[in-house]
A = this chain, B = another copy of it.
Amino acid sequence: MTGFPVPTMPVPPVSVVGLGQLGGSLAAALAAAGRPVSGWDVDPAARAAAEDHGVQVSQELTGVVVLAVPLPAMATALDGLRVDPGATVTDLGSVKVPVLTALGAALGDRFVGGHPMCGTERSGHTAVDPDLFTGARWALCLEPGTDLHRWLRVAEIALTVGAEVVPVTAAEHDDAVAAISAVPHLLAAALAAAAGQAGPLALSLAAGSFRDGTRVVGSDPAFVTALVEGNAGPTTAALDRVRAQLARPWAELVADGHAVRTASTGRRPVRVPLERAALLALGRSGGAVSRRLAAFVEGWVPEL
């Protein structure tokens, strides 16, 4: 490993609450990696599917507890379950400031917010895929009060399932995902709805550009609505930036969009001290922590 002094520590057990696409995939990936992992879901079918992937079904939560439930259920996800008072709690929710507000007060420095940037327009336990996290970015929140040791425990889990860890604050995360996730969902919805207004001829001529541009609005509308309404402020700001772009001369707009879309990226290993400000600077620069390169920044020709 280059430049990232990961302390030696015993790997903790993992308990996953919510065994749909994300939680079920995480539990299955950890079980496949030989890690002790238990899981719980209110749906017996999701529990049975997890057992088939080698996950122990249990309401006793210990080690690192992963909340993999929809955003509206996050605040009450632990109700009725037995949680080890020393457990570290993390989540997989797509917005981070509201989740931090909901859980941070009760859990204090035991809570580390997270968001793996994966998942598809499918959902539920039938969409479980142990390879879902391979190569994905996993944003992991470092607030002023975050316990760095607990942060590393969660980071180690993300690295174990093949993801790369991006250190962020909750607010930085929500601004970033507004631009690259919430707004794409709203544009897809507007594109589809406007094409519906244009009529059957337009829809019958729709080809690749329309299919790609609208794919994400095939997701469950409740999920998409929670994603945008749960991150309303940053999404409004990001949508305003898109509106301003659309007012520019088209040739300029197309040239700039093409340049961003096709910018070459590479990786450069960097040395980062295990310290909050340095880790956040890594994230802001487009960098991440990965199992292979330890820590790297994009936009450079790879040295490895």
The stretch from A37-45, A53-61, A76-84, A174-182 touching chain B is A174-182
Closest to A210 in B: B180
Query: Which residues of chain B are within 8 angstroms of A180 by Cβ–Cβ distance?
Result: 195, 198, 202-203, 205-207, 209-210
Query: Which residues of chain B are within 8 angstroms of A284 by Cβ–Cβ distance?
Result: 199-201
Identify whether the interface residues of A are mostly helix, strand, loop, or mixed: helix
Q: Answer whether A139 and B241 are a contact pair too, CB < 8 Å, given A186-B246, A188-B257.
A: no
In the complex the two chains form, is B243's CB within 8 Å of A246's CB?
A: yes
Number of copies: 2
Tell whether A34 is near chain B: CB-to-CB under 8 Å: no
Tell whether A28 is near chain B: CB-to-CB under 8 Å: no
Query: Which residues of chain B are within 8 angstroms of A285 by Cβ–Cβ distance?
Result: 200-201
In the complex the two chains form, is A251's CB within 8 Å of B229's CB?
A: yes
Tell whether A131 is near chain B: CB-to-CB under 8 Å: no
A204 to B118, CA, bound (A): 13
In the complex the two chains form, is A258's CB within 8 Å of B224's CB?
A: yes
Query: Which residues of chain B are within 8 angstroms of A117 by Cβ–Cβ distance?
Result: 205-207
Q: Nearest-CB distance from A234 to chain B (Å)? A: 10
Q: Per-residue CB proximity of A263-291 to B under 8 Å, as 1/0?
A: 10000000000000000000111111000
Partner of A257, one of B214, B245, B246: B214
Closest to A224 in B: B254
In the complex the two chains form, is A286's CB within 8 Å of B181's CB?
A: no
In the complex the two chains form, is B242's CB within 8 Å of A190's CB?
A: yes
- Partner-B contacts on A (CB < 8 A): 117-120, 136-137, 139, 166, 168, 172-173, 175-177, 179-181, 183-210, 212-219, 221, 224-225, 228-229, 238-239, 241-246, 250-251, 253-263, 283-288, 298-299
Contact sample, A vs B, 27 pairs, CB 8 Å cutoff: A117-B207, A137-B205, A139-B205, A166-B204, A172-B201, A176-B201, A180-B205, A180-B207, A181-B207, A185-B254, A186-B253, A186-B254, A187-B246, A189-B258, A192-B257, A199-B284, A200-B285, A201-B286, A204-B286, A204-B287, A213-B213, A217-B254, A221-B255, A224-B254, A225-B251, A229-B250, A239-B246
